[in-house]
């Protein structure tokens, strides 16, 4: 399988109901923006938010991914949200509260019926007991449902289960790891949930570090102040890049030709580490490319 990484360290939710947030969003160096039409817009403002977002998407450009979180297709707003996002040509639609393959397939079928290019993808929010229990089946349907990513929704998980997670989220770990595992088993990206206390930089950094250790590719965010920390936490460190370069160089050394296992500085290194090192360097190159595109459009002094 070809490994074509897309950096997904930082995915910022941007409330479409808030004109200032919309305006600010495109100047931010997030890997992606998730324009929200669901929870952050109350029913009275959903239609206006959708129209505002339609204009914004037509008039603005952004170097990273653009995703729209639509309302459920069977809700009063879902079809209009879907048609707007489809027409705007976003990279993906984020479907909230996904619980069944049939529910996901309904959106995928609507994309097919409107001849949406196959590059237009679906992301699924896993944020209910049923969604968590059936996450493997949902991820297994990725190919037929254009599914690219699983996104954790901690607020809805808390609401629908009564769980009250502490600072280390110990109560949620089995469920979070179940989501990560399903994503890995089926080759999907997986994004950790939002951290609401956006002024608590230390708490946010600790949660990012934990999410990274758990295997998440990145984190969903609610505030611009969280972007840099998420980029730092989920991107490869300079030390990791240097290590990966050494692994690649060591296996390229003719002295090591045909060897399955070597040592670097007294540490065993196998061919699987070579693959891992190549993937890390590919991720790093993809990050450099997106950061270059961000820099290119910044006003010059
Ligand atoms: C939480 C907020 C309401 C705070 O907003 P505000 O009071 O405006 O904060 P600041 O004054 O510190 O903002 C400074 C400037 O930054 C802009 N801003 C703020 N947030 C965003 C954003 N998300 N995207 C873009 N720009 C943003 C402000 O407009 C200020 O701009 P300026 O005046 O020009 O300097 C707010 O951060 C917010 O609304 N966040 C997102 C909320 C949201 O989208 N919620 C839904 C997604 S989370 C979710 O649903 C999780 C999941 O489903 C689950 O179940 O867990
Ligand atoms: Mg939610």
Tell me how far the alpha carbon of residue 254 lies from the centroid of ligand 2, in angstroms: 53
pLDDT tens per residue, range 5-31: 899 999 999 999 999 999 999 999 999
Ligand 1 pocket member 193 (CB < 6 A): yes
Distance 212 CA to ligand 1 centre (A): 23
Q: Is 80 exceeded by the pLDDT of residue 1? A: no
Q: Cβ(155) to ligand 1 under 6 A? A: yes
In sequence order, what are the residues at sequence separation of 6 or more whose Cβ sits closer than 8 angstroms to the Cβ of residue 177? 214, 215
Q: Report whether residue 12 contacts ligand 1, using a CB cutoff of 6 Å.
A: yes
**Atom number of ligand 1 nearest to Cα 69:** 47
**Interacting residues of 196 by C-beta distance below 8 A, sequence separation 6+:** 155, 222
Mean pLDDT confidence for 108-125: 97
pLDDT digit string, tens, across residues 212-244: 999 999 999 999 999 999 999 999 999 999 999
For atom 2 of ligand 1, which residue has the closest CA?
223
* C-alpha 90 chain-centroid distance: 15
pLDDT per residue as tens digits for the range 81-92: 999 999 999 999
| Fold type of domain 10-234 | TIM Barrel (3.20.20)
Residue 69 annotated as part of some ligand binding site = yes
Cα angle 151, 157, 161 (rounded to 5 degrees) comes to 155
Q: Is residue 220 within 8 Å of 151, Cβ to Cβ?
A: yes
Strand 267-270 relative to strand 218-221, pairing: unpaired
Dihedrals phi, psi of 223, to nearest 5 degrees: -145, 145
> Residue 223 CA: which ligand is closest?
1
Please, are residues 57 and 66 in contact by the beta-carbon 8 Å criterion?
yes
156 has binding-site annotation: yes
Query: How does pLDDT run across 281-294, given as a tens digit for each residue?
Result: 999 999 999 999 99
């Amino acid at each position: 399988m070809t490994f074509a990484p897309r950096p997904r360290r930082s995915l910022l939710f941007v409330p479409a109901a808030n004109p200032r947030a919309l305006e600010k969003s495109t100047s931010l160096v997030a890997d992606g923006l998730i324009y929200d039409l669901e929870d952050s817009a109350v029913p009275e403002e959903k239609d206006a938010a959708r129209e505002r977002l339609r204009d914004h998407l037509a008039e603005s450009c952004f170097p990273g991914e653009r995703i729209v979180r639509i309302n459920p297709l069977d809700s009063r707003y879902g079809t209009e949200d879907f048609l707007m996002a489809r027409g705007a040509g976003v990279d993906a639609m984020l479907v909230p509260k996904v619980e069944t393959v049939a529910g996901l397939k309904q959106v995928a079928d609507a994309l097919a019926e409107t001849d949406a290019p196959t590059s237009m993808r679906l992301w699924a929010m896993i944020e209910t007991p049923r969604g968590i229990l059936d996450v493997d089946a949902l991820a297994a349907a990725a190919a037929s449902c254009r599914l690219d990513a699983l996104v954790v929704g901690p607020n809805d998980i808390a609401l629908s289960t009564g769980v009250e997670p502490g600072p280390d989220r110990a109560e949620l770990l089995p469920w979070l790891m179940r989501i990560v595992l399903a994503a890995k088993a089926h080759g999907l990206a997986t994004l950790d949930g939002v951290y609401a206390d956006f002024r608590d930089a230390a708490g946010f950094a600790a949660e990012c570090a934990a999410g990274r250790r758990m295997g998440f590719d990145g984190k969903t965010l609610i505030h611009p102040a969280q972007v840099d920390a998420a980029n730092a936490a989920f991107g490869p460190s300079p030390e990791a890049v240097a290590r990966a370069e050494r692994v690649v160089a060591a296996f390229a050394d003719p002295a090591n030709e045909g060897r399955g296992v070597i040592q670097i500085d007294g540490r065993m290194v196998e061919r699987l580490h070579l693959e891992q090192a190549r993937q890390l360097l590919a991720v790093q190159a993809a990050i450099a490319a997106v950061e270059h595109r961000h820099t290119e459009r910044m006003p010059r002094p």
